[in-house]
């Protein structure tokens, strides 16, 4: 089915296009259906309709980080205990990836800071830090646990004049796929960065995987749409091409890194044949990403402000 932007349908956040093809997945939440769709021009994948701001407020209410966080729920651990176990990885990422790409950085802003685990690690490295977090419960926990005062707000609605041009590094982990207006947030972050500053994100790349790329047109041909069990948290699904183009629209220099989760660390959501098939394909995809640097199920994207 085609949806025309001019008829009140979605307009592509990346290219402004208004013609979308149905993707073979959808969500049902609050009695409403959200269809996966793909821009015909630039291939950006989004939802039609997007949840409203009021719905997003409900999605990230008190219990978002309280144990049922999507992706961790079936591992049987709370977000907090999972993040507690990531301290060494957080330090390694900060030193090995962020400070390597922006040597001498003194100030770091995190958007989507959750309970402040990463910011606390950055503060311990001697950086001046600040963070934005949409969930009031997570922001409260950051204060109790780490003494961090996060700005509790949706980054899409934040206006902090004192932050403009201030930050050497702005970091967002697992945030970009949750934004209603990623191009607008990129514009905003670009203003917040100091000259030479680095914007770094990491994000999932389910539709960047070779297995998903192969399966999608087959499911489209069969006219099948799978209902995904989660609430519509992911408003966009990115590939190397679409997220790279989004960054290139704002930053002069861009780097996209593809990573693949080792098959034994995959968070399998069930033992159904579909998921076991996915595991088998992933076992082939994983070495392919190592060899080619493409088709990762995780991506890191870096943009440098001139
Ligand atoms: Zn587009």
Whole-number Å distance between alpha carbons of 188 and 14: 15
Whether residue 11 has pLDDT greater than 70: yes
**How many Cα atoms sit within 13 Å of 167 on the Cβ side?**
26
Q: In angstroms, what is the span from residue 183 Cα to ligand 1's centroid? A: 12
For 24, list phi and psi in degrees, rounded to 5.
Answer: -80, 45
Whole-number Å distance between alpha carbons of 199 and 168: 9
Q: In angstroms, what is the span from residue 15 Cα to ligand 1's centroid? A: 4
Q: In angstroms, what is the span from residue 53 Cα to ligand 1's centroid? A: 22
Between residues 56 and 107, which one has the greater pLDDT?
A: 107
Q: In angstroms, what is the span from residue 180 Cα to ligand 1's centroid? A: 15
Whole-number Å distance between alpha carbons of 112 and 189: 13
Between residues 295 and 123, which one has the greater pLDDT?
A: 123
Percent of the chain with pLDDT over 90: 65
**How many Cα atoms sit within 13 Å of 158 on the Cβ side?**
25
209 contact partners, CB below 8 Å, separation of at least 6? 281, 282, 285, 295, 296, 297
Q: In angstroms, what is the span from residue 258 Cα to ligand 1's centroid? A: 22
The pLDDT of 35-44, averaged and rounded, is 96
Partners of 133 in the β-ladder: 152
Confidence of residue 113 (pLDDT cuts 50, 70, 90): very high
Q: What is the pLDDT of residue 53?
A: 87
Determine which of 87-101, 211-225, 247-261 has the lowest per-residue pLDDT on average.
211-225
Whole-number Å distance between alpha carbons of 132 and 152: 6
The pLDDT of 49-75, averaged and rounded, is 76
211 contact partners, CB below 8 Å, separation of at least 6? 278, 281, 282, 284, 285
User: Which domains does the chain carry?
Assistant: 51-204 (3.40.50.150)
Q: In angstroms, what is the span from residue 108 Cα to ligand 1's centroid? A: 31
Average model confidence (pLDDT) across the chain: 90
Q: What is the pTM of this model?
A: 0.91
Q: What is the pLDDT of residue 72?
A: 63
Q: In angstroms, what is the span from residue 245 Cα to ligand 1's centroid? A: 10
Q: In angstroms, what is the span from residue 12 Cα to ligand 1's centroid? A: 5
Q: What is the pLDDT of residue 73?
A: 59
Q: In angstroms, what is the span from residue 77 Cα to ligand 1's centroid? A: 37
Q: In angstroms, what is the span from residue 43 Cα to ligand 1's centroid? A: 6
Q: In angstroms, what is the span from residue 65 Cα to ligand 1's centroid? A: 32
Between residues 123 and 287, which one has the greater pLDDT?
A: 123
Q: In angstroms, what is the span from residue 2 Cα to ligand 1's centroid? A: 13
Q: In angstroms, what is the span from residue 124 Cα to ligand 1's centroid? A: 41
Q: In angstroms, what is the span from residue 169 Cα to ligand 1's centroid? A: 28
Whether residue 7 has pLDDT greater than 70: no
Q: In angstroms, what is the span from residue 237 Cα to ligand 1's centroid? A: 12
Whether residue 58 has pLDDT greater than 90: no
């Amino acid at each position: 089915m085609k949806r025309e932007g001019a008829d009140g349908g979605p307009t592509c956040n990346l290219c402004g296009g208004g013609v979308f093809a149905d993707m073979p997945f959808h969500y049902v939440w609050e009695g409403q259906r959200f269809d996966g769709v793909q821009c015909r021009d630039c291939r950006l994948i989004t939802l039609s309709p997007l949840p409203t701001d009021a719905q997003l407020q409900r999605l990230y209410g008190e219990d978002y980080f309280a144990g049922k966080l999507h992706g961790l729920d079936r591992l049987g651990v709370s977000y907090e205990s999972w993040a507690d176990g990531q301290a060494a990885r957080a330090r390694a990422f900060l030193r090995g990836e962020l400070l390597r790409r922006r040597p001498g950085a003194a100030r770091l802003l995190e958007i989507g800071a959750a309970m402040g685990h990463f910011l606390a690690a950055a503060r311990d490295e001697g950086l001046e830090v600040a963070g934005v977090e949409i969930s009031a419960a997570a922001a409260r926990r950051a204060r109790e646990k780490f003494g961090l005062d996060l700005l509790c707000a949706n980054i899409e609605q934040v206006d902090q004049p004192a932050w403009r041009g201030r930050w050497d590094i702005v970091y967002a982990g697992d945030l970009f796929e949750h934004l209603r207006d990623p191009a607008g947030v990129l514009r905003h972050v670009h203003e917040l960065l100091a000259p030479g500053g680095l914007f770094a994100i990491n994000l999932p790349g389910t539709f960047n995987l070779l297995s998903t790329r192969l399966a999608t047109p087959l499911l489209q041909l069969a006219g099948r749409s799978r209902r995904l069990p989660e609430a519509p948290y992911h408003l966009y699904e990115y590939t190397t091409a679409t997220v790279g183009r989004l960054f290139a629209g704002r930053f002069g220099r861009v780097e996209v890194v593809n990573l693949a989760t080792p098959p034994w660390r995959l968070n399998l959501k069930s033992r159904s044949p579909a998921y076991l098939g996915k595991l088998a394909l992933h076992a082939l995809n994983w070495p392919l990403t190592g060899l080619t640097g493409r088709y990762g199920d995780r991506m890191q994207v870096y943009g440098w402000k001139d």
